Amino acid sequence: MILRPLAAAVAALSVCGADGRSFLRRDLASRVETETEIAFQGVLDNLGPDGSKAPGAEPGIIVASPSTEDPNYFYTWTRDASLTFKMIVDEFLHGKSELQPIIQDYLKAQAILQTVSNPSGALSSGRGLGEPKFYVNETRFNGNWGRPQRDGPALRATALITYGNWLLDSGDEDEARDQVWPVVQNDLNYVAQYWNDTTFDLWEEVLGSSFFTTAAQHRSLIEGIAFGQALDQDVSAYESQAPNILCHLQTYWNGEYVVANVGIQQQRSGVDANTVLASIATFDPEATCDDALFQPCSARALANLKVYVDSFRETYTLNRNANGTAAATGRYAEDVYYGGNPWYLTTLAVAEQIYDAIQTWSSLNSLTITDLDLPFWQDFYPSAAVGTYTPGDDGTSTFTKLVDAALAYADAFVSIALKYTPASGALAEQYSRENGTAVSARDLTWSYASFVTMRAARLSATTDYPQVPSWGAPSGDEVPEGACVASSVIGTYSPATGAGAPPGSGGCTVLVTFNVNASTFFGENIYLSGSSVDLGEWRTGDALAMSASGYTDARPLWSAEVELPANSSVVYHYLRNEPDGSWLYETTNRTLDVPVCGNMVGGSNATVEDAWVGPVGTPPSKLV
């Protein structure tokens, strides 16, 4: 497909006037429809068990990308899968009835994954729900990673609640209660218990508090309250925590833009696509332009959007001469991953936020520009001024001109993404900052899903295409006054057997802390390996990395926390991973009898104190 360069499109607008704009929009709409078909098929190709690019994936499992090296994304991420299936559920609500079996497969797959113990923990404590990714055959991934990531449970709850509400509207309360609710309840209990604990951000790089995560958590509890009440369930834990999370959400606003991550060690500006993605993930078409909720049309969200887009104008070669016009955008300007390039999904997210905003202005028949978001408007409508505008009878009102200008601005971001989409329509993770060629993982599911959601938002902004369902966004007036309360409610967690979790899975576990004194040198690391699946079943590739955060010369301490099945017995030993990648083993194995649940002082916890046994030699016998 040969696309018209953006500069030519802008020139045509100035020559052809309104008729030219209409022609260009029809042309763009046609290209969007063509790419949407490719993108949706791209999602299905990455879906188990029948997807052509998802060999070995279980039913309902979304593969992040078929790329298996440089980088290896052949895993399923809870966050990516949840966002993708929210898109699939929305498409199902828009009339694609053939998608219901796929949604039901996803429900079962998530019920199973909730019970898979992992390096983040297990189901009985809820900690395991914060594990970011699994192998596509629904088994644990033991490798080093940024964990936990606390956005996954909230996003999964949102996707399934949307489907559950459809079931209720269709009169199928039994399926909503017996299959959907048990999975959702585990996730909501996790949010209510762990929302105030540190998390890795959605880019899996920094540990602290993440705006995207907090916004997703707040939404999940609000819609979870309504869904639970409709099923006569106890939702008091969610009612107690939702206001605290909404209060915490306000702390990311610095007066000029949203700081994406707080409480982190890395020094960044905080200007990040995280914030734009959060705005569209929590868009409610029935909400107003609420600053406290950072709705897409709010002054805060629009001011933040300008700061975000501007941060890339001088960053990428592609954006030369892009001042005041649309620009290619990435994760954040300081990004160096694969060279720090624009991403398809982040560029499309800018357009989607503006399309969402247009939906609200059109519904309200009102648009207000404040001192805060005036610079956003003046980028593409230089004569914009502070004030409130409403439609006129002749279609030439300032309101109409502002909305039309915003639509053209959003369309220009889509045009950029399409310009650097190859003729096949395949969407990678990134496109080069220098020349627009595909970079990093190929056929990224999240890229494809973002194109589909952008298209739906555009249709809802320009036609009578149905909007996404309201999630019951509260008024910003409900933000608690005074200091935020850092509280939580300890949850209970059970396998969702009605949805497909294996009977007897997710049993009681004991959190065991393994401490070993092992003197090491820089570049040498200690791992834990053992006989159980939780300890990697003796495979060095699945051995658990230990932390040296407590290491001193006086006590060379390495530690790891593992949840092990209560009243079980495991055999284990420690390993040294050398800088050249080789492994050195202890000369003995050890046996641990895991206590019975609840019999220890202070709850289901235990600590093991060991010292490295040498000299270093060849691997000992695997069993004692």
| Residues annotated within a binding site | 145
Q: Which of 201, 284, 290, 534 is catalytic?
A: 201
CA separation for the pair 580, 577 (Å, rounded): 8
**Catalytic: 204?**
yes
CA separation for the pair 601, 305 (Å, rounded): 51
* Sheet of 199-200, strands arranged across: 199-200, 207-210, 261-262
CA separation for the pair 375, 306 (Å, rounded): 8
Q: Which residues of 175-209 are buried (b: 16+ CB within 10 A; e: fewer)?
A: bbbebbbbbbbbbbbbbbbbbbeebbbbbebbbbb
CA separation for the pair 346, 330 (Å, rounded): 6
Helix (H/G/I), strand (E/B), else coil: 151 = helix
CA separation for the pair 519, 576 (Å, rounded): 10
Cβ atoms of residues 549 and 558 within 8 Å:
no
User: What are the angstrom distances between the C-alpha of 126 and each of 229, 357, 510?
Assistant: 22, 37, 12
Cβ atoms of residues 585 and 619 within 8 Å:
yes
Query: CB count, 10 Å around CB of 320?
Result: 10
Q: Which segments are annotated as binding site for substrate?
A: 145
Single-letter residue type at 209: S
Cβ atoms of residues 120 and 43 within 8 Å:
no
Q: Which of 204, 239, 524, 537 is catalytic?
A: 204
Find, among 36, 31, 25, 86, the residue nearest to 410 by Cα. Answer: 25
48 class by beta-carbon count within 10 Å (0-12 exposed, 13-18 middle, 19+ buried): buried
How many distinct helices (H) and strands (E) make up the chain? 14, 17
**Catalytic: 563?**
no
Find, among 352, 353, 355, 390, the residue nearest to 369 by Cα. Answer: 390
529 class by beta-carbon count within 10 Å (0-12 exposed, 13-18 middle, 19+ buried): buried
Copy the structure tokens of residue 181: 């609710």
Give the Cα-Cα-Cα angle 471, 39, 296 (nearest 5 degrees): 35
Cβ atoms of residues 510 and 597 within 8 Å:
yes
Catalytic residues: 201, 204
